[in-house]
Structure 1
Amino acid sequence: MLVDSHVLVTGATSGIGRSCAIAFAEAGARLTITGRRADRLAELADELPGEVTTLTFDVRDRDATRAALAEVPSPDVLVNNAGLAAGFEPIQDGDEADWDAMLDTNVKGLLTVSRTLLPGMIARGNGHVINIGSTAGHEAYPNGAVYCATKHAVGAITKSMRMDLLGTGVRVSTVDPGLVETEFSVVRFHGDADRAARVYEGLDPLTPDDIAETVVWVADRPRHVQVAEVIITPTDQASATMVHRR
């Protein structure tokens, strides 16, 4: 079903997005990969089999996003993966620049990409939007108020989007991971690699490939099957704040 389909993955320069691009390419899809770092996109494109288009832009820049996406056909599958966590302080000590980065990327960026590409899917009567959420969209935890808020927003947007698109032939899904070892924590802690490593210390976290495998499975269901939501966590994680460390 995915062979020769067109898949667009945002935030493909690292982590889950990069693994999704590789997994879809290996499944025979044609890829459009986007991100802020042109060198990483080019490096990834060279590694992937098949047809690959790269688009360099920041989803926080609405005009640049719309202009870049106007250059490609509407995809069969859109993976809204671009996102980040920035900072880990109680709300009374939070950095407003971090808040803006998360809101502009995780919520407004997802909305801009979706709003730009959905009309083409609707006109074609076929398409699939897969939003990468988080277990943080299902529960809150200390020092994560704004990040959790953005991922709760992704969950609400996904549900409403599914209702809005009912009858159009466009499917809408969300894949919500728990602890995945990527650059996520390094970014959250503003480059403090030692602090980031301690997040995963003593447990077996998910890998980006685990999530990519799930995303491809969701995309590859028959057209009459819509996987609305997948929550995936490591065996060593029971909740946002409960993990088993050896």
Structure 2
Amino acid sequence: MLTALYRTRVTHMRRAPVRHYFEQRGYSWYVDLDDLPTLPRWLQPFARFEAIDHLSPTGTDDDSLRARVDHYLAGHGIALPGGTVTALLQARVLGYVFNPLTVFWCHDAQGVLRHVIAEVHNTYGGRHAYLLPPTGGRPAAVKKALYVSPFNDVDGYYLVRVPKPGVALDMTISLHRENKPAFVATMQGVRRKPSTLNILRLQLSSPLAPLSGAMWIRIQGITLWARRVPVVPRTPSVERERVDQL
């Protein structure tokens, strides 16, 4: 079983139109979608992995998370029969989940990394998946396509650097306009074994991590509003792809 926990430190740096910085501690799971971890019954409420939290439904009887990845790739003319798909994501904790960023690393049958999917979620229940090449430690550029923040329009492009996690986790996403970074987010972490003890430690150090993460982002939004940062209205035409949470 390929499963690991990462104790994470997430930072957000807004550079325009005002400078604003915050950071938060949490944790993420790194899993094999064909071999998701099975926890003791009493721990399961603190770590559940649900297909409905990611990507689009397959429209078939098999609507597992792995099937949704294959369905997404097929929509882009890609097939990876027999290949492993690993993911960095947050699990549901007591029924609640918030994944600002989920990353899927898609390999062929020989174990070679062929494609990366970076799925961005906003606090309104919308999400959009970006298909990226396997650039390793170098960033890949992709046009922004989802309304994420009420203080950022759906324009510009992202530079996404999401190398596969190892002993350490180190990812960066920056939003650029006019070839200048307007916003930079990082996620760094240290790998831990998914032992019962480590899971309990993370629950104590970051209780209800998905809920606290979503709340913290909203608090930062209130702070920006108080600083009179212009608000960009959210309209159906702004969110080019939306999948309602079920």
Provide the TM-score with structure 1 as the length reference.
0.29
| Bigger fraction of residues in strand | 2
Structure with the largest fraction of helix:
1
TM-score, scaled to structure 2: 0.29
